[in-house]
Structure 1
Amino acid sequence: MENKYRQLEALLATQIDEARIITEEAKRLAYGTDASFYRLIPKLVLRLNNLDEVIFTIQSCCQLSIPFTFRAAGTSLSGQAISDSVLITLSDKWRGHCILDQGEKIRLQPGVIGADANRYLAPYQRKIGPDPASINTCKIGGIAANNASGMCCGTAQNSYNTVNSMTIVFTDGTVLDTASEASIEAFKNKRPDLIEGLAQLVEETQQNTELSEKIRHKYRLKNTTGYALNALVDYHDPVDVIEHLMIGSEGTLGFIADITYNTVIEHPHKASTLLVFGDIETASQAVSVLANTHVSAVEMMDGRALRSVADKPGMPDYIQALDLESAALLIETRASCSHQLGQQCVEVMSALEDFTITHSTPFTTDATTIASLWAIRKGMFPAVGAVRETGTTVIIEDVAFPVEHLAMGVRELQQLFDKYHYGEAIIFGHALEGNLHFVFTQGFEDGAEVNRYGSFMDDVAELVAVKYQGSLKAEHGTGRNMAPYVELEWGHDGYRLMKQIKALFDPEGLLNPGVIINDDTRAHISHLKPMPAADELIDRCIECGFCEPVCPSRTLTLSPRQRIVLYRELQHRERQYLAGNSRRPPVDELKQIFEYQGIDTCAATGLCADRCPVGINTGDLVKKLRVDKYQRFTPIARWTADHFGATTTMVKAGLKSNQLARKLVGDKVVGTITNGLRKMTKGATPIWIPEYPQSNPHKLSQSLSTTAHRVQAENSDKRVVYLPSCASRAMGQQDSAKDSRPLTEVTLSLLKKAGFEVITPEKLSSQCCGMPYDSKGMNDIANQKAKELESLLWEASKEGAYPVLMDTSPCAKRSIENFTQPLEVLEPVGFVSRYLLPHLSLSPIKETVMLHVTCSSRRMGLEADMLSLAKACAETVVLPEHIQCCGWAGDKGFTTPELNEAAVAPLKEQVPANCTRGFSNSRTCEIGLSHHSGIPYQSILYLVDEAAI
């Protein structure tokens, strides 16, 4: 078999770049991990760029009879996106979309993130129907392949009921575009076996009255257990049947190369209320009543679920006082206008007037209150994850009861929790469809725990599928998790039909084997993922992958999830070795790969923490690991910290030398020499790029004494302490910049226009926020510099009487997080918006400009403010897609330029032809943005100063 994989690798390399054929053990482990609690390690991982590569790969695997599995974002929970054979993933080149019929339809490639699809549709007040909780991360390919739904989508708006057409690749490489009559005719001629076979199954199924009725019953509920058998009773045309069988097929029947959705209305007005009832029975009865009103979502939460979030910030006071018998409904209604919304709110509450509501937060349209109410629901899954024992995993199951049996279903689930000692388990879910999620923690370290889980799931399956004729998987897909129970739920006839479908589409059983159809009765308790302790900073990670879209290194090396996977494995191997259980030392391929991929290429910006359900900042782990890596440089770092003024002077001297050399011998010679030296030193010296800035010639102290506008001393409202960052003190602008003034000069110009008196702290040249040291894990030095700076700013601001302006966002963010005195520290966007705009008149420049929101600005919640400010200063502002962090990461742009290149790879193609410059708010980030966009980037203060009259 190993020889077959070598043959496949060689065959694939004839048409696919070898860099996208991943064979290293460590990377196969990292890339092969998904959000489920199962683990298989693929023999090969592929990252494919286009349809031709997909077809070639499928044909190559089939030629050698090698199984293969498709993976989208890897957020699936049931084990349907892992493989011990060939794992096929898609590169970022699969993000194409096309708006059709004024937003009534949208054609999407499988690599489009769900939230991006809705962003494209927002101008038309439309959205795609599915709304899974992972919509900010999961991709269209996975949404369709799993028939994912969500809180508001129900069954009417899921992928099955909103698909318009799709392009499919089958196991023989045949392509079918169901929107094209020519493609359909060609397919019928080439694959009569599939067409005729499905036609026969349709006829047999529709003639089987008992099975047809069972299918109709099952799909009145949310149901993703097994194949979409409703396709065989809802449609007669085999092409329609194919199209709908592909929905929810989890990559076991073919590859969805694109899908066109019929979109649904996104109502602009919404209101939410939280209602608490005395018990689950009363809440369930209320759900039945609400089903006849204009509600878009009804989320049920049992008493244990409410208890799990009672101590979280922003929760209503009454949550803490509730007992475990209580149950709550979180209700949302949406409308096209505020008047209609008000009527619907009255309708909902009138329908419930006969119910005793023990506590409530009345219907509200206030965005902040709505967000806090939904934070209750969204916080429940992470609440369990945050308190679980190290080494255990969080399991979220997803069942559906007929609504009339909802209360008894909840009660009996709770009894099973007690029977199997899952005291932490909670229940919540989409009550209108009887769809309940239950969350609990489970260890798989010993056989007794595995057996406990297995017995528990046996009882759950009997309760849901047999006693109440519900569905074992309502929206999370069958996967390996429920494959052993598919026949139990569907019966002999239904399961036999599913096997016939699989055999028609995939006669050799090569497509995602073991998923949906699996004769192994222990498949759900096999290949369980270990979750060994590694570090308290990351032990709570559930490997969901929500962090991945914002990581700047995800296409270069590893994402945060993958870093954690490898670090866990490293720690496990080291413990095994030290305990004498392994002869394999920890210094192996895995450790060597992790050194570069895990540590060196992490930007450590912390954007991952904002996406993580349990708030893990993988950058904190990386900075901790860098302590040992950079320890030998500590004496040098200490000297630079103690002599920071001299360090800045040396940087300026270097920039002057660079400028002089460029004038004397030209860019080509300078680049050849400098980058040649970098190559000789194996990356130990910085890279050279022509966008390096000039030295800053501006004398800040002289400007303040001669040109700064001063106001009367008693008018403290118009005083500001200005702290230029070390980068802006040392660096001027690049040669091609339209405005050649240094940032310090531009900042003073803008403050003068607004009539502000400027104060600078003493010993300015020696000041630093500590960021350069913090990013290398040199915490003592970083904290020392931060304390020095805080002391000087406290004095300069008259003990916090005046705001402090820092002209780069990373410095401001770090200072805000580390200062202990009540100082108001602001970066450019925040300061301009709060203090300068009331004193300025803006005349937007008649240009199209690019805007980059730095990761520090995003983490401070300034993205909307920054975009708003830019739009007030320029006629057209382009905020490029898919760039969250530029990857310059302090000084990594100089030393690890490939990180910056990977992070901003989509930038240049998004720069309009008529755009000649961009703006941001971090001087170092602007270097890399300029280099990779082809246009100069400067601080947004340049744009504001130009627009300010």
Structure 2
Amino acid sequence: MQRKYNKISEEFFEKLKEIVGEKFIFKEYEIRWTYAFGGSIFNKDWIPDLIILPHEKRQISEILHFANKNKIPVIPRGSGTSLSSGPLTPYGGIVLDLNLMNKIIEIDIENNVVEVEPGVICDELNNILRPKGYFFPPDPGSSSVATIGGMVANNAGGIQAFKYGVTKNYVLYLEVVLPDGQILTLGSKVLKSVSSYNLKDLFIGSEGTLGVITKIGLRIRPLPKHRKLGIFIFQDVEDLQDAVMELRRQGIVPNLLEFMDKLLLKAVSEYLKGEFLDIPNGYVLLAETDGDLMKGVDETFALMFDIIIQKNPIYHKIAMNDEERERLILARKANLPALSRIRPNTCVEDCSIQVSDFAKVIKKIEEIPQKIKAKNLLVAIICHMEGNLHPTFLFNENDEDDVKDFEKAIDYLYKEIIMPVGGTITGEHGIGKIKTPYLKLEYSPGVIDLMSRIKKLFDPNMILNPGIGKGDTVYLKKNTRIRTLKNQTGQILEMKCMRCGFCISCPSKIDYMIEAYSPRGRLSILNGLVYGELELNDLINNILHTCSLCGLCQTKCPAGVKTIEIFEKAREIIHK
């Protein structure tokens, strides 16, 4: 059963245009098309009906009040980096693109608080805090483009969660707009307050299903002055697990403890080359300690090193300076670009287990392609060693057989591996619009019903981000459409764009404000053209020609997509 919503009539469009102004509302199909692409498999049926760029809370309040009254879905969106289809639109409706709400309102060092709008980028906030000796610790892999609003909505973590925790540990208060347009402030500016129910935390990790976040008060911490990093390679994953368990038994808390499997290390070594080609292949443990005094950092690292080295790694190296540290950290950060060169698509899954189950779970995940008899599917594994796993599946989303194998692999992952050991189906990416069927494996009917009742208490008309499994148990229809290239019907498209969003700092995207004018958006438009699902017109011509060919996107692209060459060739074909 699918939910029923109203479409946006011309009368509705004019009313919404009055709220935000003509420059900040878009109904052109070609522009809406680009908002249907994300970090998951593309679904042509999930095209939004309208794109709106609000720039203050009163506009959001009026939009939500109007949408709620007329039963129109509203989907908040940050940078579109979700790996679980969070901001995609299975029911159409309005995408609220919040990127224009990007002000850092206040930095209060004395009280260790910053106040920001939801569109502020994580790394940009930390770049401003760093000279002041402070930082906001959560650091997801997409921190260079991830918005603070999106991080709150998904309770993002990152590579330092082992020591510093996740986003909810730093949110003091939120300003939110409810579906009826009501504006509320939840939480408090002070560190301790128990004067109300903890409603603020209900919105953290709610994935845009209860309200739209318009302001965030964050706690910040002094930036550690020193750190020390080592890389350790193990032949057997059991030895690596033993090392991590002993660190825990001894009470040693690294600020960074990261795992990479053999397939990933091989891919990274071939991608980075240089000294990495001399590293023996095996299971990787990156371990780092930090602190304010170098003596204390050295002492803690020495204790950690002694524990790890007793578990017989086949290789180790300690970074002796910042340059060597950055080179070793690059091995972790290069995982996506390295993997993207193996297959056209990389799908990063997200689940968590207890560390005591780590080795046996890793071995079972490695066996998935063989267990399901996949022809082309590969799996690599990254893990934050508090137990948050990221099995990364490599395939081609334009190959029907690959997609079927991928869907079998996801089923096997959660039903046969993660849930039997008492794990969770998501640690930091969210349920999104693809994990709802697995929710019943983790929670009892009573818990699922309670989440549904909470959702309906805040959003009785179910207009906010419908399709998210938290509070909405209606299963979405599977995409069964087979796409065929317009001029090469027997061929399968191989496009290595992961739609990660790292290219959205593009000058034309900043100037034109919307997704269509980003490199990712232009590639999505070309995707539509080659499949015959978009027709070349003046708007598409303009979008493709507003690219200045500056090459910034090519330097930012983890997958090494040759954007300049692609866009130049597209223009050449148009002119012919």
TM over 0.5: yes
Instruction: Name which one, 1 or 2, has greater alpha-carbon Rg.
Output: 1
Pick one of 421, 425, 439 that aligns with 1:486: 439
**Structure 2: distance between partners of 1:446 and 1:327:** 31
Q: Are the equivalent residues in 2 in contact too, given 1:274–1:329 (CA < 8 A)?
A: yes
Distance change (3 Å), C-alpha of 1:281 and 1:179? closer
Q: Are the equivalent residues in 2 in contact too, given 1:103–1:126 (CA < 8 A)?
A: no
Query: How do 1:522-601 residues align onto structure 2 when only pairs under 5 Å count?
Result: 525-526=478-479, 539-556=495-512, 558-573=517-532, 588=535, 590-599=536-545, 601=546
1:282 and 2:228 aligned: no
Distance change (3 Å), C-alpha of 1:359 and 1:6? same
Show CA shifts across 1:484-520 (max 9, x none).
1112112222212211211111111111100124434
Residue 8 of structure 1 is matched in structure 2 by 12
Distance change (3 Å), C-alpha of 1:275 and 1:136? same
Residue 839 of structure 1 is matched in structure 2 by none
Gapped regions of structure 1 (runs ≥ 5): 182-233, 577-585, 632-949
**Offset at residue 315 of structure 1 (A):** 4.8
**Structure 1: distance between partners of 2:173 and 2:228:** 34
Structure 1, 14-23 or 97-106: larger mean CA deviation: 97-106
**Structure 2: distance between partners of 1:50 and 1:529:** 41
RMSD of aligned C-alpha atoms? 2.8
1:429 and 2:374 aligned: no
Q: Are the equivalent residues in 2 in contact too, given 1:126–1:265 (CA < 8 A)?
A: yes
**Structure 1: distance between partners of 2:223 and 2:575:** 51
% same residue: 25
**Structure 2: distance between partners of 1:97 and 1:269:** 30
Structure number having the greater helix percentage:
1
Residue 508 of structure 1 is matched in structure 2 by 461
Aligned residues between the structures: 555
Query: How do 1:125-144 residues align onto structure 2 when only pairs under 5 Å count?
Result: 125-144=133-152
**Structure 1: distance between partners of 2:483 and 2:346:** 12
**Structure 2: distance between partners of 1:491 and 1:93:** 39
Distance change (3 Å), C-alpha of 1:246 and 1:76? same
Q: Are the equivalent residues in 1 in contact too, given 2:504–2:518 (CA < 8 A)?
A: yes
1:376 and 2:331 aligned: yes
1:332 and 2:288 aligned: yes
**Offset at residue 269 of structure 1 (A):** 1.5
Show CA shifts across 1:89-122 (max 9, x none).
1242432331124361111110100011112211
**Offset at residue 352 of structure 1 (A):** 2.5
**Structure 2: distance between partners of 1:178 and 1:170:** 12
1:341 and 2:345 aligned: no
Residue 452 of structure 2 is matched in structure 1 by 499
Query: How do 1:313-462 residues align onto structure 2 when only pairs under 5 Å count?
Result: 313-317=272-276, 321-322=280-281, 326-361=282-317, 363-389=318-344, 393-420=345-372, 421=374, 424-431=378-385, 433-445=386-398, 448-462=401-415
Show CA shifts across 1:554-589 (max 9, x none).
44160100000001111111xx8xxxxxxxxx7x4x
Q: Are the equivalent residues in 1 in contact too, given 2:162–2:254 (CA < 8 A)?
A: no
Residue 182 of structure 2 is matched in structure 1 by 174
Structure 1, 261-270 or 457-466: larger mean CA deviation: 457-466
**Offset at residue 261 of structure 1 (A):** 1.1
**Structure 2: distance between partners of 1:354 and 1:259:** 45
SS of equivalent to 1:547: coil
Distance change (3 Å), C-alpha of 1:308 and 1:115? same
**Structure 2: distance between partners of 1:536 and 1:564:** 16
**Structure 2: distance between partners of 1:424 and 1:245:** 37
Residue 169 of structure 2 is matched in structure 1 by 161
**Offset at residue 466 of structure 1 (A):** 2.7
Structure 1, 349-358 or 620-629: larger mean CA deviation: 620-629
**Structure 2: distance between partners of 1:85 and 1:153:** 35
Residue 48 of structure 2 is matched in structure 1 by 42
**Structure 2: distance between partners of 1:146 and 1:317:** 34
**Offset at residue 13 of structure 1 (A):** 1.9
**Offset at residue 453 of structure 1 (A):** 2.9
Higher relative contact order (CA 8 A, sep 6+): 2
Residue 270 of structure 1 is matched in structure 2 by 227
Pick one of 424, 429, 435 that aligns with 1:471: 424
1:622 and 2:567 aligned: yes
Distance change (3 Å), C-alpha of 1:548 and 1:447? closer
Pick one of 282, 288, 296 that aligns with 2:255: 296
Q: Are the equivalent residues in 1 in contact too, given 2:136–2:220 (CA < 8 A)?
A: yes
**Structure 1: distance between partners of 2:285 and 2:352:** 17
Show CA shifts across 1:684-725 (max 9, x none).
xxxxxxxxxxxxxxxxxxxxxxxxxxxxxxxxxxxxxxxxxx
Distance change (3 Å), C-alpha of 1:150 and 1:275? same
**Structure 1: distance between partners of 2:205 and 2:346:** 24
**Structure 1: distance between partners of 2:394 and 2:200:** 37
**Structure 2: distance between partners of 1:140 and 1:157:** 15
**Offset at residue 17 of structure 1 (A):** 1.2
**Offset at residue 591 of structure 1 (A):** 3.3
Structure 1, 104-113 or 375-384: larger mean CA deviation: 375-384
Pick one of 106, 113, 119 that aligns with 2:121: 113
**Structure 2: distance between partners of 1:527 and 1:561:** 24
Query: How do 1:654-803 residues align onto structure 2 when only pairs under 5 Å count?
Result: none
Distance change (3 Å), C-alpha of 1:527 and 1:170? farther
Residue 818 of structure 1 is matched in structure 2 by none
**Structure 1: distance between partners of 2:213 and 2:60:** 11
**Structure 2: distance between partners of 1:90 and 1:3:** 22
Pick one of 56, 65, 71 that aligns with 1:65: 71
Show CA shifts across 1:363-393 (max 9, x none).
224222112212211222222212215xxx3
**Structure 1: distance between partners of 2:247 and 2:480:** 42
1:147 and 2:101 aligned: no
Distance change (3 Å), C-alpha of 1:180 and 1:370? closer
**Offset at residue 301 of structure 1 (A):** 1.2
Specify the code of the residue in structure 2 equivalent to 1:303: K
**Structure 2: distance between partners of 1:384 and 1:99:** 39
**Structure 1: distance between partners of 2:67 and 2:163:** 36
